[in-house]
């Protein structure tokens, strides 16, 4: 055979989460071009010929928002007809996590007129089927945090246990017991005491960092906590 098949355009779209101001936030871009010019969308864009998908996701994120070195994970691929008015466009969606310290770097990129963080509970209307993608990303994030210790990716490299607990509480929408949470997290052995303290209004808190050793993908057999 080797007959000619019609080819779709392929994009990557990235749902980038962070934890800031006591809420879970997503980075959105206000589109500068048609279609959907002026409406908010997930950062993303066309994959270059022969470019690995992971690279494309990282590149688009970097180009459109200036974010680098975030935790990236493939989520799913969306290809329903009609999802893009330009025609047949398939999108490989990624989920990304970053610490709020990095968001200062956030800036609007070349082909986007604006970039802003939104509370996941207060989102504007989104372009394309990005509400669908974002919903899937959120479900995945919740599921991940329920069984893994990846939550620290939403925090700066160095953080307190209270910060980490807040992340879990906000994302999972539950209240957690402080002592149980700490016991559990520490029993996983993925945190390292930096020896530093965070001074604030009251008693200083110990600062931790995630140990490099397989900190990714670690799994807890039972829901935390």
Interface positions with its own copies (CB under 8 A): 1-2, 5-10, 33-34, 46-53, 74, 76-81, 88, 90, 92, 111, 221-223
Q: Least distance from C-beta 225 to DNA, angstroms?
A: 4
- Best CA proximity match to 139, nearest among 174, 171, 186, 178: 171
For its own copies, which is the closer residue by CB, 5 or 199? 5
Rounded to whole angstroms, the Cα distance separating 148 from 6 reads: 41
172 to 201, contacts with DNA by CB under 7 A? 177-180, 182-184, 197, 199-201
Question: Which tokens is 24 given?
Answer: 């879970």
Min dist. Cβ of residue 12 to its own copies (A): 9
β-pairing, 9-20 vs 89-97, is parallel
Q: Between 116 and 205, name the residue whose CB sits nearer to DNA.
A: 205
CB 127 within 8 A of CB 39: yes
**Residue 34 partner contact from DNA, its own copies, none using kind-dependent CB cut-offs of 5 to 8 Å:** its own copies
Q: Which residues 116-175 are close enough to bind DNA by CB under 7 A?
A: 160-162
Residues in the chain: 225
Residue 213: Cβ within 10 Å count: 10
205 counts as binding DNA under rule CB under 7 A = yes
The residues with which 92 forms a beta bridge, in sequence order, are: 12, 77
Residues contributing to the site for DNA (CB under 7 A): 160-162, 177-180, 182-184, 197, 199-206, 221-223, 225
């Amino acid at each position: 055979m080797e007959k000619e098949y019609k080819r779709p355009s392929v994009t990557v779209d990235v749902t980038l989460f962070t934890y800031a101001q006591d809420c879970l936030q997503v980075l959105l871009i206000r589109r500068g071009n048609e279609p959907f010019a002026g409406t908010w969308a997930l950062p993303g864009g066309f994959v270059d010929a022969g470019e690995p998908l992971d690279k494309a996701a990282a590149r688009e994120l970097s180009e459109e928002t200036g974010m680098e070195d975030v935790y990236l994970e493939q989520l799913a691929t969306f290809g329903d007809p009609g999802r893009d008015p330009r025609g047949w466009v398939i999108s490989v969606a990624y989920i990304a996590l970053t610490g709020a310290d990095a968001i200062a770097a956030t800036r609007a990129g070349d082909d986007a007129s604006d970039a802003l963080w939104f509370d996941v509970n207060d989102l504007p209307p989104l372009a394309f089927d990005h509400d669908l993608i974002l919903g899937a990303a959120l479900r995945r994030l919740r599921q991940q945090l329920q069984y893994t210790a990846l939550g620290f990716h939403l925090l700066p490299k160095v953080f307190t246990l209270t910060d980490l607990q807040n992340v879990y509480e906000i994302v999972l929408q539950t209240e957690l017991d402080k002592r149980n949470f700490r016991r559990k997290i520490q029993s996983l052995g993925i945190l390292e005491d930096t020896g530093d303290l965070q001074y604030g209004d009251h008693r200083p808190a110990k600062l931790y960092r995630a140990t490099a050793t397989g900190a990714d993908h670690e799994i807890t057999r039972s829901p935390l906590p």
